Amino acid sequence: MNQDNTAPPALIDIGANLTHDSFDMDRDAVIARARAVGVVQQIVTGASVAGSAAAIGLARAHAGELFATAGVHPHHAAELDEPAFGRLAQLAAAPEVVAVGECGLDYFRDYSPRDAQRRAFARQLELAALVRKPVFLHQRDAHGDFTAILREHRDVLVGGVAHCFTAGADELGDYLDLGLAIGMTGWICDERRGQHLVPLMARIPAGRLMLETDAPYLLPRDLAPKPASRRNEPMYLPHVAAAVARAREESVAALAAHTTRAARQLFGLPEAIRSGGV
């Protein structure tokens, strides 16, 4: 709680990997710490069939505060055979699931063959159109194929977000032209690799910008004092919000208001019930 007894701005973390085993010992405390600093809702990322089922289970245990995505990350694309896709389709229809993904292309790691990645991506876009839910998208070193596949499906999709945006002006322009929202993480806080993002923030219209931690990954490098652990947590989302607000030359309160509103609109989230003095 703030010392002046006012609530911190309400934020939504649109991408937190809360099923990761690094949270197994203190997951409830992690959620509580985030809630205490104003992170009123979180979307738990599903990156495999099993991971999506786990994300749904976590969302059911924290109804109204946690939600889930259901998808297969390009790293796991080779696993998306017919039985797996059938199971994914069942999961995607669950009421706790607010988006299909994390899906897309990753030519940096190439953990799955590229043709398998493209097939899995296209099938998940078709699934998103079928269940009428937005897509939660991943792209690394595959921009041309990624945007080409998206364009083929654009007319039937109900929206989507470019998760963990770290690219440049050209990619940003393409994503905005495709109607995507942009998810910003603590990458913008990295003085070595993220400073190119600062001048791009003003180009993202209010209503198309969202915030995420990608916890436990991407701990903001400029946290002070530095945490003892390298594990990122959703409680650091206000730090990301402050960095993005500075780059956009707007107040944190204004940024929180429009990013939270945008997340609720895209993902169909209900208003959060704030409790515990927050």
Q: Are 26 and 56 in contact (CB under 8 A)?
A: no
| Alpha-carbon gap, residue 267 to 43, rounded angstroms | 9
| 176 token code pair | 């905005």
* Structure-token match 């505060």, residue found: 65
- How far out from the chain centre does Cα 235 lie? 15
Q: Are 135 and 171 in contact (CB under 8 A)?
A: no
- Phi then psi for residue 183, to 5 deg, are -100, 125
Q: Domain 11-267: give its CATH code.
A: 3.20.20.140
Instruction: Tell me how many helices (H) and strands (E) the chain has.
Output: 8, 8
SS3 206: coil
Residues in the chain where the model's pLDDT stays below 50:
1-3, 276-278
Distances (CA, A) of 166 to 86, 94, 159, 163: 32, 30, 20, 9
Distances (CA, A) of 140 to 84, 90, 228: 24, 28, 30
Residue 273 has a pLDDT of 73
| 256 token code pair | 């929180």
Laid out side by side, the sheet with 11-16 consists of: 11-16, 39-44, 66-70, 97-106, 135-140, 160-162, 181-184, 209-211
Residue 5 has a pLDDT of 64
Residue 275 has a pLDDT of 57
